[in-house]
Structure 1
Amino acid sequence: MELRSLRYFVAVAEELHFGRAATRLHMSQPPLSRAIKQLEADVGALLFTRSPAGVALTPVGTVLLEEARALLDHADRVHVRVSAAAGATTLTVGILGDGTDPGVTRLAAAYRRRHPGIDVRIRDTDLTDPTCGLRAGLVDVALTRAPFDETALTVRALRTDPVGVVLRADDPLARRDRLRLAELSARRWFQFPQGTDPSWQSYWNGGRPREGPVVRAVQECLQAVLWNGTVGLAPLGHDLPAELAVVPLLDMAPSRVVVVWNEGDANPLIRSFVEIATAAYRH
């Protein structure tokens, strides 16, 4: 059994859906299905029961999942030790936004346990670069939010967060339980500097052109709301000062937390980081 086939199998076993597993693996579904059928032929038993509702592990598949995870973990440790011996002992991670996210906390703890000898360097990024310096070669991998131009990048979704509008606590709309974007059409919205990724700017402006003050950082966004009554958007669940309130938006697409790296980068430290991040954000 090849490691690639086992990685395909683990993805299907964790997603319990060929379509979602194919998306996670950045491949189309037909070759993934063929690879699983070939693996079943190699094993000599069915690994999944298939139905219109999805797939489920067979008893043989359950055993293989446990063994495959252990084998893949060991293979990653081998790659990391070899890379460390060759001098590749540093991983630079770009982070956008709230470093107190419990997903980040779990990821950091799990990565330290798996790779205690690796020096992880963190580069905190402002809101003008959603790829956190990845395109400029400043980081190896980024924890950020989509959408942005994904050309030559590989992106894996970790979580989706509902989004709300940030208002001053004394704003009449702050007393509402929920709002729609149309109810904010007359307000000024914060803007990012010229040259910022257009899809990133469009998302945080609710999908249409807006006017308002230019900001670069989260605190600047919050201060623009506090001082000028500017409309800001933020994922729900973030702590805000008492002077501010957040109201859920009914028609705003959720914000996707993603891990992203340069397409074709085979650094085993990155691959291990992505797998650990996927598990850490699943809880």
Structure 2
Amino acid sequence: MDLRRLNYFVVLAEELHFRRAAERLHIAQPGLSQQIKVLEREVGATLLERSTGGVTLTQAGQVLLDEGTSLLQEVNRVTERVRAAAAGRTGLLRIVHSRSLAEGLPDELVRTFKHNHPDAEIAVESAWTSRNVAMLRSGEADAAFLRLPLVGSDDLQVLALGATELVVALPASHPLTARRTLHFADLRGAEILSWPREQAPGYYDQIQLTVWGDEPPTPVATEPDPEHLLAAVAQGVGLCIMDSQRAHKLRPRGVVLRRFTRPALTGDFGVAWNPNRRSPLLDAFEAHCRAHMAQVP
């Protein structure tokens, strides 16, 4: 059944008048009459009773009106969904973020994108940077917020988004808590806790080089996530450097936070995607992130 002819019939059935229906459809009245006759031959039934005063529906015509209206509505719905998917308004977008980036700009970008794309499904999870990179390569994730710089990731596209302040988490009994702010040199000789280097090697090495130069310490212990790092600090095992927002949110009793001054210590971050695994929705998310950066002074 030709959907165009079905639409002609539905309009005619609503108007019950050939001239008015033809005007609504912006076609000539004889052409409309001819198309209805073709439709009747297609379905093998008389759909209309014609008279000088207009037309009335036969029983078969009423059935076709009811079913045809539903069919056209479904076709319109499917068409709109296809167009929305092609325009990046629907679909599934899988976003991963490094655990140290659970708050701040990444969260804001995801929230505003969800608001602007209410028909899209946005799945968010967290992992460390190297795992996020692996997920981009395997297709398990579409976009990833991660710590920079990346190591050996020329196959990915990266948009730098900014930097977050890093602070020192100290046991409450540590002598350095007597100072309001710290310098890099204050950490020399201290017992250091850290996350495993393989979680974010570029980020790890950058912090080590910035704070300790050519003589980086060997951590007395490593923990895979911020919660366990801070718990070890609270137990007096050592001190650690971590993201300020995350540290303030998770800080347990027995931990004191101190900032670096002259200079402050920051950690870069960005969003990355695999150029070989594109989708209209990912294109829209990339445009969303770039539009935000274009507004940053």
Fold conserved between structures, TM > 0.5: yes
Q: Residue in 1 aligned with 2:205?
A: 202
Cα contact 1:162–1:236 (8 A) shared by 2: yes
Superposed counterparts of 1:83-122, under 5 Å: 89-97=91-99, 101-122=103-124
Figure out how many residues of one structure are paired with residues of the other and give that number: 205
Q: Give the direction of change, closer, same or farther, for the CA distance of 1:191–1:234 in structure 2 (3 Å limit).
A: closer
Structure 2 residue runs without a partner (length 5+): 1-80
Structure of greater Rg? 2
Structure 1 residue runs without a partner (length 5+): 1-76
Q: Residue in 2 aligned with 1:266?
A: 278
- Check if 1:224 corresponds to 2:224: no
Counterpart AA for 1:124: S
Superposed counterparts of 1:1-283, under 5 Å: 81-82=85-86, 89-97=91-99, 101-126=103-128, 129=131, 131=133, 133-149=135-151, 150-193=153-196, 195-205=198-208, 206=211, 208-238=216-246, 239=248, 240-250=251-261, 251=263, 253-279=265-291
Q: Give the direction of change, closer, same or farther, for the CA distance of 1:121–1:171 in structure 2 (3 Å limit).
A: same
TM-score normalized by the length of structure 2 = 0.58
Cα contact 1:167–1:229 (8 A) shared by 2: no
Structure richer in helix, relative to its length: 2
Cα contact 1:130–1:145 (8 A) shared by 2: no
Counterpart AA for 1:161: T
The percentage of counterpart residues that share the same residue type is: 20
Cα contact 1:225–1:231 (8 A) shared by 2: yes
TM-score normalized by the length of structure 1 = 0.61
Q: Residue in 1 aligned with 2:35?
A: none
Q: Distance in 2 between matches of 1:194 and 1:158?
A: 22
Q: Distance in 1 between matches of 2:157 and 2:129?
A: 20
Q: Which runs of structure 1 show a deviation greater than 6 angstroms over 4 or more consecutive aligned residues?
A: none
Q: Give the direction of change, closer, same or farther, for the CA distance of 1:152–1:192 in structure 2 (3 Å limit).
A: same
Q: Give the direction of change, closer, same or farther, for the CA distance of 1:171–1:194 in structure 2 (3 Å limit).
A: closer
Q: Distance in 2 between matches of 1:126 and 1:202?
A: 15
Q: Distance in 2 between matches of 1:170 and 1:280?
A: 43
Q: Give the direction of change, closer, same or farther, for the CA distance of 1:132–1:194 in structure 2 (3 Å limit).
A: same
Cα contact 2:147–2:203 (8 A) shared by 1: no
Counterpart AA for 2:231: Q
Q: Give the direction of change, closer, same or farther, for the CA distance of 1:84–1:146 in structure 2 (3 Å limit).
A: closer
For residues 66-89 of structure 1, give each alpha carbon's deviation from its aligned partner in whole angstroms, at most 9, with x where no partner exists: xxxxxxxxxxx998522779xx82
